[in-house]
Amino acid sequence: MATTEQDKVVIFDTTLRDGEQALRASLSKREKLQIAHAIARLGVDVMEVGFPVSSPGDFDAVQTIAKEVKGPTICGLARAVDKDIIACGEALAPAEKRRIHTFIATSPIHLEHKLQKTLEQATDMAVKAITLAKTYTDDVEFSCEDAGRTPVADLAYVIERAIDAGATTINIPDTVGYTEPTEFAEIIRGIRELTPNIDKAVISVHCHNDLGLAVANSVAAVQAGARQIECTVNGIGERAGNCALEEVAMILRTRAERFGVTTNIKSEEIFRTSKLVSQLCNMPVQQNKAIVGANAFAHSSGIHQDGILKAQNTYEIMKPEHIGMQSNELNMTSRSGRHVIQHRMTEMGYDKNDYDLNDIYDAFLKLADKKGQVHDYDLEAIVFNQLLEEESDYYQLASLQGLSSNLPVNTATVGIRTGGEDVKYKSETGNGPIEASYKAMRHITGVELNIIDFKLGSKGEGADAIGQVDIIAEFMGRNFHGTGLATDIIHAGVKAYIHVLNLIRRAQQVEDIKEKHQGV
């Protein structure tokens, strides 16, 4: 039987908007583009990728994604203000399919304390914004901010006028995560009953997780008639986060007989996309998280293990392969050829366009010479290194020598090539070789970074695992996230610092271009 519009739930991903704005350090344009391509491959219908009016960098990133990412409808967020709508329309102009998402608060508490307007005044602003947005695209979404604490009759009043103005999707956000599933479903049913023209729009929901109910509220809304869910990969977002995309996708797939709806999500892309978002956003996934946590398919109980061996469905309601998690692993050494590496990358869910095989293989051979055996997580670390480093990077590490001891003073010598010029060297001392390295790099580059956070971890298992250093550094009032991966933790720490330096350099170039454009 063919799927009808009523059978399908639209998946609206807002990882790069609601998710990204909650990070301690903003993503770079390149990182946003990498995530956007991955989420497009995941099969989402709509991708909200930023708030164009908020900064030149966000405008540039939205515009770049609109140009380069194909498949999903590309969406931008705008307040019910002319300048926001105009910025959104201009940034989204290159997209094959585009949507403007505008919003205004409707709850009594927001109207009184935030907007200091009546419901009628706020509704007039919404109508004006939707009308302007329609001059840029026919696909306009309108959100009643804090709908979860807005009387249903008030929602129906605003929604009816919004649809008359041209809104094609009406979003009902539980902005502060206040409602519970039965209550939220009643709100959706009430809107359907009280809004005479609701059949002309798709009802969407956007649930926050303050009480741990974002996913439950979203699926309850689907049962009540909503046909779009707004969500993020790994559930990242403001405060306690958003509805987790991977959870609603697998709920609707695993319990299809109960919900009677489908999505376009390619579930085998879930695990890889989750890891990419976690890595680039510097937000580790908790081990016991549903669907994508490290323990999601682990069984410790002897009774459970015995059951799994006899029949997998005794204790597993879905298979790891359903989300793209591979259980088999090859023994890769320096004797493994290119075809083995390419095969393994394919098995892990990577498309050949996601990486440069020659670069990956060269890095693989160097790592294999150091470690002997190379694992899947090592290959992924090599891929992430490719994502983090570019040949055109202004700052490049040429050499590093660090000496560590139990003495009060340790030393490091660093060589950095700046803008293609000759390598500059500097030796410094510090409490440890990483502090000494950072002092040397400050002297060479003249860039003063305030290191807010420094975390050391690993990619994989064992003493020979690749070390990972993540830092949050403040520069001129803005936070930047740098990542370094290397078999040596001092080397990883230095690479993280250089990553931040290059992010700052690119951010300054974007600001300069925008200022010149505005000055013309």
pLDDT band at 26 (very low <50, low <70, confident <90, very high): confident
Could you read off the pLDDT of 229-283 as tens digits, one per residue? 999 999 999 999 999 999 999 999 999 999 999 999 999 999 999 999 999 999 9
Q: Distance between CA atoms of 516 and 510, rounded to whole angstroms?
A: 10
- Backbone conformation region of residue 343, classed left if phi is above 0, alpha if psi is from -120 to 50, else beta: alpha
Distance from C-alpha of 165 to C-alpha of 220, rounded to nearest angstrom: 28
- Name the residue among 384, 231, 277 with its Cα closest to residue 36: 277
Note the pLDDT tens digit of each residue in 185-196: 999 999 999 999
pTM for the structure as a whole: 0.86
Query: How does residue 513 score in pLDDT terms, banded at 50, 70 and 90?
Result: very low
Taking only the tens place, the pLDDT of each residue in 115-153 is 999 999 999 999 999 999 999 999 999 999 999 999 999
**pLDDT-based confidence at 510, cuts 50/70/90?**
low
In sequence order, the β-bridge partners of residue 458 are 467
Write down the mean pLDDT value for the chain.
91
Instruction: Answer whether residue 391 shows pLDDT above 70.
Output: no
- pLDDT value at position 236? 97
Q: Which of 90, 100, 44 shows the shortest CA–CA distance to 69?
A: 44
Alpha helices in 152-210 (DSSP H): 152-165, 181-194
pLDDT in tens, 417-444: 998 889 999 999 999 999 999 999 999 9
pLDDT at 347 over 80: no
Taking residue 135's Cβ as centre, other Cβ atoms within 10 Å add up to 11
